[in-house]
Structure 1
Amino acid sequence: MMKKSLSAVLAALMLLTSLPAMAQTTIDPKEDRNITLQEVGLNEVEEGVSPTTGLTLEYIEVEEGQTGMALTGRYLPMLVQIGNDEGGVGNRAPWGATYADMVYEMPNHQNGPTRLTFLFNDVVPDSVGFVRSARVGHVWLREEWGAGFLFYGQQEHEGSNVLEEFRRLGHSAIGDPLLFSGMVGEGKAWYKYYTERAGLKSPYHIDGNVAGMYSLIPEDYVAPNHAFRFTDATPEGDDALEVTVNWDSDNFKYDSKLVYDIESNTYLRYMIYKNNVLHPWVDKDTEEQIGFANVIVQFTDITYNNSPDAPVVKMVGEGNADFFMAGKHVAGYWKRDDYTSRTVYYDADGNEISLQRGKTLVIVFPNGKRDGRGVSYE
């Protein structure tokens, strides 16, 4: 795992403030890109290679207490709802992010706050947090992956009720072998795998032993093929050394900047606070600043169910998608046919895009226009 020391992070911040301003391009979410999509199927899973990161499994370190494909050879993704309160920095920083293959970010409130979902497969850790509640968009994301799913509470508004949506899709929120609700009693086998971390206030203190819950999933369960395509080549596209994501949050704390680091070939994530002060996004336990080999901005329709805190994020359909990899930007497209289908990401030629090997950040972003909200790069 790549680990950035505090001195390296500070040096990077100083460099950011000293660099001359570059031309900034703001993405039009509804731009007509005239992309003809080619027919695609499922991708072949290469022996010994992770289908989620493209990394060689035998070279991935698995620590004591952890599990995952790098240890067992079994493909079994696990999704965990993670709080992003205050932008996820300082005493609100998450833990377990170092081991996540993918991170999804979705709106949690109309005025800017977002929620994260960590996906683990290569390494499944025994301590992840802080675990928070689910919205209906997360239900549809889980259905796509067929993953084990950790969530501590759920929205139950009529019209965006997580429990009802699980039932509609054929699952019981507290009886399905893949669903691990934290709102259960001691009679459930996974109850013991949710604990409270000392020194942290509620509701920012719930720890999930994902490896423990992973062990409860029946051995004969086979998750659907969701393998990505990977390449070692640098994509063709315009330069994109910085990506800025503005959610139009009232207190700025949910806006982020992703800065390309050529040494690691990743985009390091920073949270933007008031007056454009940047805070590195780090794992609370490992103190590692998290970088992503791939940043995907997936534009979609997002509505609110009679309340600003009841987002309904359209996860089935199609729309524009923008990809940031190896310091380049590619304007593309995404499509997902139904709830059990995988989301396919396409390049400018309509072919399924090949990702860089490593972590991926997917930002599910509103395609409607609003002052102060948008994604830009330079």
Structure 2
Amino acid sequence: MPFQNIKGRENILKKILITLLVLTLTGAVAFTLYFRLRPAETSENPIIENVDEDIEIKDDSVVEENTSENYCLTCGQETAPENANLRPLAVIIENHPAARPQSGLEDACIVYEVVAEGGITRFLAIYTHKNCNNIGPVRSVRKYFAEIAKGYDAMLAHCGGSPTGYLAIKELHLADLDEFANSGAYRRVSSRKMPHNLYTSTKRLRERAEKKNFASNVSYESFKFKNDAPLEKRPEETYAIIDFSTPKFKVKYEYNRENNSYSRFMGGMQHKDSNSGKQLEAKNILVLITSIRVVDKIGRVDISTLGSGPAYAFLDGTVITGRWTRESLSNTIKFYDQSEKEIALNRGQTWIEIISPDKKVDFPEFQG
């Protein structure tokens, strides 16, 4: 082989080797500079790899299931583990003007409000994790109150009742704490005239229930709960007005942005609890629209709490238009938005207002 050809090939190989060496050194330098100069990975300045992937952003009002034993099954508030799954007490409380101000409504997890007869509304207050030493005035049961209590497997506290109310208690196999058969759990006060002077307490009712061997813990279908909306997402002010019958029973809720709650007014006046003297505050207001019809000469009504119908949910200063649904009397009433998603409530007291389609609900135009 000629000497010139060998020498030419050696020169070519040297050039290739030099080129590869330069490329290798350049890559190493670039790699080192990248890691020395890039910002450190901290919680304030995270390094995001795979930028094309979806990034999950935490929502302050995330929905949470009631899976923890430290949260009340009924209202979602934090409580002692032994109180989380206590069997609810459902107490009938009257709303005649002579019965105002009532005692103990502020301590209920849920309060249902509905017309009894003659346009006079009445309350079904559900107590689970909180103790209350003074509840009343206690009045008589109606069929629809017994049916609502069934959904919570609640122990029902009342004084007498309509014929259909007593029949519903029997047919639904409710744990009954009627004052007529359990007088030791109740007391009459001298400061008010009968029949507006009957009172009880959660302690007395639970002690009586224990003597009757009623189950103390039960499981039932609860609402979904979430954290309050952040302050910056809450409106400055809003309201909801619900017309049950006459002006004496008209209800208004005024939104409190700082507390993210609704102050309750009734008959144009602040609705206060007699125990504390404070105005009642709700975290959620649910309005259920259903059939309400008069069924006898006394003016008693029949109210449908089965099936489905229109509904409004007021929370976080917004209103959600949707529907309520209940498949059976063993289920609680649930509320859904227009996309058929169950509405998650704020933790705390909820008022559920039951009205007929001809009654008006007033609120500002904006909706959630």
Tell me the TM-score normalized by structure 1.
0.73
Q: Which residue of 2 aligns with 1:57?
A: 79
Could you tell me how far 1:196 is from its partner in structure 2? 0.5
Alignment counterpart, residue 286 of structure 2, candidates 287, 291, 296: 296
Q: Which residue of 2 aligns with 1:337?
A: 327
Q: Which residue of 1 aligns with 2:16?
A: none
Contact kept, 8 Å, 1:237 with 1:329, in 2: the verdict is no
Q: Tell me the secondary structure at the aligned position of residue 45 of structure 1.
A: coil
Contact kept, 8 Å, 2:114 with 2:353, in 1: the verdict is yes
Alignment counterpart, residue 115 of structure 2, candidates 93, 107, 114: 107
Q: Which residue of 2 aligns with 1:135?
A: 142
Specify every segment of 5 or more residues in structure 1 that has no aligned partner in the other structure, as ranges. Answer: 1-42, 59-69, 172-177, 185-189, 273-277
Q: Which residue of 2 aligns with 1:228?
A: 223
Q: Which residue of 1 aligns with 2:37?
A: none
Q: Distance in 1 between matches of 2:185 and 2:167?
A: 25
Q: Tell me the secondary structure at the aligned position of residue 240 of structure 2.
A: strand
Alignment counterpart, residue 182 of structure 1, candidates 136, 154, 179: 179
Q: Which residue of 2 aligns with 1:376?
A: 362
Specify every segment of 5 or more residues in structure 2 that has no aligned partner in the other structure, as ranges. Answer: 1-64
Q: Tell me the secondary structure at the aligned position of residue 161 of structure 2.
A: coil
Q: Which residue of 1 aligns with 2:126?
A: 119
Q: Distance in 1 between matches of 2:283 and 2:263?
A: 9
Change (3 A) 1:281 1:263: same
Change (3 A) 1:280 1:238: closer
Alignment counterpart, residue 80 of structure 1, candidates 71, 80, 91: 91
Q: Distance in 2 between matches of 1:74 and 1:337?
A: 23
Q: Distance in 1 between matches of 2:315 and 2:132?
A: 27
Q: Deviations over 1:153-204 (max 9, x none)?
A: 1012xxxx21222223245xxxxxx2111123xxxxx321110012111111
Q: Tell me the secondary structure at the aligned position of residue 137 of structure 1.
A: helix
Q: Which residue of 2 aligns with 1:209?
A: 201
Rg larger for: 2
Pair 1:247-2:247 in alignment = no
Letter in 2 for 1:202: M
Tell me the TM-score normalized by structure 2.
0.75
Pair 1:162-2:171 in alignment = no
Letter in 2 for 1:316: L
Q: Deviations over 1:328-356 (max 9, x none)?
A: 00001111011112212112221111001
Q: Which residue of 2 aligns with 1:96?
A: 104
Q: Which residue of 2 aligns with 1:15?
A: none
Letter in 1 for 2:121: T
Matches within 5 A, 1:266-277: 266-272=261-267
Matches within 5 A, 1:22-61: 44-58=66-80
Q: Distance in 1 between matches of 2:266 and 2:85?
A: 35
Q: Distance in 2 between matches of 1:95 and 1:285?
A: 5
Q: Deviations over 1:269-290 (max 9, x none)?
A: 0012xxxxx2111111210111
Q: Deviations over 1:118-171 (max 9, x none)?
A: 111120323210000111111101111110110011012xxxx21222223245
Contact kept, 8 Å, 2:113 with 2:121, in 1: the verdict is yes
Bigger mean CA offset, 220-229 vs 143-152:
220-229
Letter in 1 for 2:154: A
Pair 1:366-2:341 in alignment = no
Q: Distance in 2 between matches of 1:356 and 1:144?
A: 21
Q: Distance in 2 between matches of 1:195 and 1:375?
A: 38
Which is helix-richer, 1 or 2?
2
Q: Deviations over 1:199-244 (max 9, x none)?
A: 1111110011222221324375542323211112539999971111
Q: Distance in 2 between matches of 1:237 and 1:133?
A: 40
Change (3 A) 1:238 1:320: farther
Could you tell me how far 1:306 is from its partner in structure 2? 2.5
Q: Deviations over 1:29-70 (max 9, x none)?
A: xxxxxxxxxxxxxx5532311222222115xxxxxxxxxxx7
Letter in 1 for 2:362: S
Pair 1:346-2:336 in alignment = yes
Q: Distance in 2 between matches of 1:73 and 1:258?
A: 29
Q: Distance in 2 between matches of 1:93 and 1:81?
A: 15
Change (3 A) 1:351 1:155: same
Could you tell me how far 1:71 is from its partner in structure 2? 5.9
Q: Distance in 2 between matches of 1:53 and 1:377?
A: 25
Q: Distance in 1 between matches of 2:140 and 2:193?
A: 16
Contact kept, 8 Å, 1:105 with 1:362, in 2: the verdict is yes
Q: Tell me the secondary structure at the aligned position of residue 116 of structure 1.
A: strand
Change (3 A) 1:232 1:79: same
Could you tell me how far 1:263 is from its partner in structure 2? 2.1
Percent identity reads 21
Letter in 1 for 2:115: P
